[in-house]
Every structure is written in C-alpha cells, then in structure tokens.
C-alpha cells in the first residue's frame, strides 16, 4: 500500500489488491500515541512518520477497530515495524491504556534515557497526548 499522511497518528493508502476500493485510513495508535498538532512536538511527530514511510510501500496488519469505528493497525515497511520506530525516535508515547505489545516499553525507556525526540523537550512539556486531550475537552 503506498501511503500518504494525514497526521502523525494516521496513514492513508490504497489497497493494491483491490484498486477499486477507496483509500484506507489507518490509525497507528497500536503501541503509540502521537502528540497533537497544537502540542509540543506535534508537527515533528508527523514529520517523523513522513520521513519513515511517505510514498513507500507498506503492509498494514489490522489489530482491531476502535470504539469510533477506526481501523487500528501495525504498519511495516518490509520487516521494519514503523510503530516501534516512532517510539524509538521519541516521536510518540507508548499508549499504555491500549497496549498489547509490552516490547515497546523498553524502547520508550531507551528513547527517554537518550533524550530522543519529544524526550529532549523540557520536563514540563512531557504531557502525554491523552492527558493533553482530556484537559482540553469541553
């Protein structure tokens, strides 16, 4: 599936095996939650995803459908796990509430220790996206 990006947490692409189908929209929340656009590191998270896979062929392994009907997937570029790469680069937080792959936790710990990506920000900017969204909910 060639991909385009709609945000750091969403990929869209066309299913090569069913060209007549519309573009698929996939959530990459399986394992990670990207900072929101208005949040520190939000645009850089989107750029990190773009740098990893924009315009390239990827494989989506569907994990589930979330409560809003969105497809949640793990994305691979060959054998490279894009979700794990985003965690490794410090572009996303490991989303513990829906975590099904505990192998992402030490990857995040390593990114924090190395102060990669969002972990290079001042400590007061280390607000998980789910907390940031909750604080801004009406």
What confidence tens digit (pLDDT) does each residue in 25-72 have? 667 766 788 899 899 999 999 899 889 888 788 888 888 888 888 888
d(CA 43, CA 80): 23
Please give the pLDDT value at position 25. Answer: 66
**Best mean pLDDT range from 31-35, 45-49, 110-114, 132-136:** 110-114
Q: For residue 35, which phi and psi values (nearest 5 degrees)?
A: -60, 145
| Burial environment of residue 53 by CB neighbours within 10 A (0 to 12, 13 to 18, 19 or more) | buried
Structure tokens at 50: 């773009």
77-88: pLDDT as tens digits: 889 999 999 999
d(CA 95, CA 86): 12
Q: What is the mean pLDDT of residues 95-100?
A: 85
Structure tokens at 92: 């996303």
Residue (of 59, 48, 50, 49) closest to 17 by Cα position: 59
């Amino acid at each position: 599936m060639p991909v385009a990006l709609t945000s750091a947490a969403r990929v869209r692409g066309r299913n090569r095996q069913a060209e007549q189908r519309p573009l698929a929209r996939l959530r990459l929340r399986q394992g990670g939650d990207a900072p929101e656009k208005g949040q520190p590191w939000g645009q850089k998270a989107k750029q990190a995803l773009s740098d990893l896979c924009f315009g390239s062929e990827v494989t989506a392994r569907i994990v589930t459908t979330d409560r809003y009907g969105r497809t949640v997937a793990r994305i691979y570029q060959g054998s490279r796990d894009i979700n794990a790469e985003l965690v490794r680069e410090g572009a996303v937080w490991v989303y513990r509430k829906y975590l099904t792959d505990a192998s992402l936790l030490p990857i995040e710990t390593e990114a924090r220790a190395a102060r990669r990506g969002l972990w290079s920000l001042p400590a007061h900017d280390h607000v998980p996206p789910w907390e940031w969204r909750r604080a801004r909910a009406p």
